Amino acid sequence: MAFLEEHEQSTLSIKRMIFHVVGKSLDEPILLEEISPPQHTDFFLERVKSSLRGNLFEFRDLSSTERAIRSIVADPANFAQITRELAADFQSRHSNSTSVGVFFVFELSIGADQSIFALIKYDNEDVVRYMLNNNEGLQVPKLERFQESFVRKAEAMQKIALVRLNGQKGGLIAVRDRSNAAHISDYFEGFLQARRVNSPDDLSEKLVSALKDTFKEHKDLLPEEVAKSGVNRIYEVLRQGGHTFDPDDCEPLLTAVFGKMPENSKLRRTFSRKLKSYGVSEETFEINPEKIQTPRRRLIETQEGVEIRYDDGKRPQIKEREDGRREIVIVTAGIRRDDVAIDNGSRSR
- What DSSP letter does each residue of 135-202 carry, written as one string? -SS----EE-SHHHHHHHTGGGEEEEEEEEE-TTS-EEEEEEETT-TTS--HHHHHHHTEEESS-HHH
Give residues with Cβ within 8 angstroms of 290, minimum separation 6: none
Give residues with Cβ within 8 angstroms of 137, minimum separation 6: none
Helices (H) and strands (E) in the chain, counts: 11, 15
CA-wise closest residue to 123 among 74, 81, 157, 161: 157
CA pair distance 120, 178, nearest whole angstrom = 12
Contact, 111 vs 11, CB < 8 A?
yes
Q: What pLDDT does 341 receive?
A: 65
Q: Report the alpha-carbon angle 204-205-211, nearest 5.
A: 90
Give residues with Cβ within 8 angstroms of 220, minimum separation 6: 227
Count the residues in the chain.
349
Q: What pLDDT does 347 receive?
A: 46
> What does each C-alpha distance from 201 to 244, 280, 292 come to in angstroms?
12, 12, 8
CA pair distance 345, 220, nearest whole angstrom = 23
Give residues with Cβ within 8 angstroms of 261, minimum separation 6: 254, 255, 267, 268
CA pair distance 160, 57, nearest whole angstrom = 12
Contact, 243 vs 287, CB < 8 A?
yes
Q: Coil, strand, or helix at residue 204?
A: helix
CA-wise closest residue to 248 among 218, 275, 278, 208: 275
Q: What pLDDT does 140 receive?
A: 65
Q: What pLDDT does 149 receive?
A: 55
Residue segments in the chain with a per-residue pLDDT below the cut of 50: 151, 345-349
CA pair distance 318, 22, nearest whole angstrom = 68
DSSP code, position 293: P
CA pair distance 328, 292, nearest whole angstrom = 30
Give residues with Cβ within 8 angstroms of 347, minimum separation 6: 307, 341
Cis peptide, bond prior to residue 37, ω within 30 of zero: yes
Strands 317-320 and 326-329: antiparallel
Q: What pLDDT does 346 receive?
A: 47
CA pair distance 264, 57, nearest whole angstrom = 34
Q: Which helix (H) or strand (E) holds 116?
A: strand 115-123
